Amino acid sequence: FPACRLVLERAFSLHKAHSIKVMENTFQLVRNIIPPLTTKKYKGQDGRIGVVGGCQEYTGAPYFAAISALKVGADLSHVFCAKEAAPVIKSYSPELIVHPVLDSPHAVRDVEAWLPRLHALVVGPGLGRDDVLLENVKGILEASKARGIPVVIDADGLWLIAQQPSLIQGYRKAVLTPNYVEFCRLYEAVLRDPMDSRDPDGAVLRLSQALGNLTIIQKGERDVISDGDQVLVCSQEGSRRRCGGQGDLLSGSLGVLVHWALLAGSEKTDGVNPLLVAAFGACALTRQSSSQAFQKYGRSMTTTDMIAEVGAAFRKLFET
Ligand SMILES: NC(=O)C1=CN([C@@H]2O[C@H](COP(=O)(O)OP(=O)(O)OC[C@H]3O[C@@H](n4cnc5c(N)ncnc54)[C@H](O)[C@@H]3O)[C@@H](O)[C@H]2O)[C@@H](O)CC1
Ligand SMILES: Nc1ncnc2c1ncn2[C@@H]1O[C@H](COP(=O)(O)OP(=O)(O)OP(=O)(O)O)[C@@H](O)[C@H]1O
Ligand SMILES: [Mg+2]
């Protein structure tokens, strides 16, 4: 597609009309990575996703992430959580496969046994900050990197990375999804400077570069996405509701899209980094789901209402 060169312009120097054009082109790239639904496939081919998170306090976040992966189109969704969170998460949904292993002394070995069967890991939703769990997650991250498994890092997974950036530095199959506070924490930890709020897009670019060109999504009123080379902005209309869990929907969806994007490769994305395309797709989908749910429920909208909109939002954005 000839118009594609436009996509690669630095978004922070773009005029508004130009940005809209870039958004349209990027939507087409997302459409290109979506695997067709055919009668020839077997269960698992369109995605086996693992979510690493879920502890005594937080059971909603890993559920939101894992169910969102299924609603986007993954075939199987696993949750690796602390023992006491497992029965709770299982009882939310019979569709999830739940492993109560994260606080066990064999956590790394137990999760590692599943890694060959997983296409992507989403690390952090509802993980909490318990030292034992974080230590186990460190081992799981190392094992995932050794196998080249793509990882999305969110929430308390980002807390861990801020303590020890070398854990993920230079691993190009990682996508980080910080909210504003998580971004500032990470920026200060890595660049040893407070974030420059006058140049938010440049800050995302610089943090990505400092981490060795990982893909980073800074979530907010606009979602700013960079791989240290390009900056893309997603300003798809969302909603004014800021209920908890919207970020979990984003990271779970992204797990699937990352797998699809890497499978499709850069021929399908016209030379654009497939992870940028996946990131843009997940942001647009989350925001569209939020917009649709907000139209129905207004102030009472919750993340569960958004999850119910994922299918229709996906069709509207990517299949029409
Ligand atoms: N139902 C659930 O189980 C949920 C659990 N969650 C989990 O809760 C844990 C903590 O996540 P948090 O996101 O609260 O992280 P933090 O514990 O780092 O808290 C960040 C705080 O900053 C505030 N904040 C966010 N954006 C801001 C901005 N632009 N300006 C100023 N303040 C801002 C938030 O209100 C929040 O209190 C994670 O494990 C997360 O996954 C959340 O995902 C929400 C849903
Ligand atoms: N001011 C805003 N206007 C519109 N959309 C927003 C705004 N802030 C965040 N979003 C959208 O909400 C989604 C979640 O972002 P948010 O910053 O709330 O993540 P989070 O704090 O990690 O959420 P969670 O509660 O799941 O942890 C993203 O898709 C983002 O685009
Ligand atoms: Mg979050």
Largest CA distance in the chain: 55
Q: Tell me: the pLDDT tens digits for 265-302?
A: 999 999 999 999 999 999 999 999 999 999 999 999 99
Look up residue 274 and give its amino acid: P
Atom of ligand 1 nearest to the CA of 59: 3
Q: Is 129 annotated as a binding residue?
A: no
Q: How many angstroms does the Cα of residue 180 sit away from the middle of ligand 1? A: 10
Kindly list the protein residues whose Cβ atom lies closer than 6 A to any atom of ligand 2.
155, 179, 219-221, 223, 238, 242, 244-248, 250, 283, 286-287
pTM of the full structure = 0.95
Residues 59 and 224: their CA atoms lie apart, in Å, by 28
Residues of the chain with pLDDT > 70, as a percent, come to: 93
Residues 218 and 104: their CA atoms lie apart, in Å, by 33
Residues 320 and 308: their CA atoms lie apart, in Å, by 19
Quick one: pLDDT at residue 16?
A: 57
Quick one: pLDDT at residue 130?
A: 97
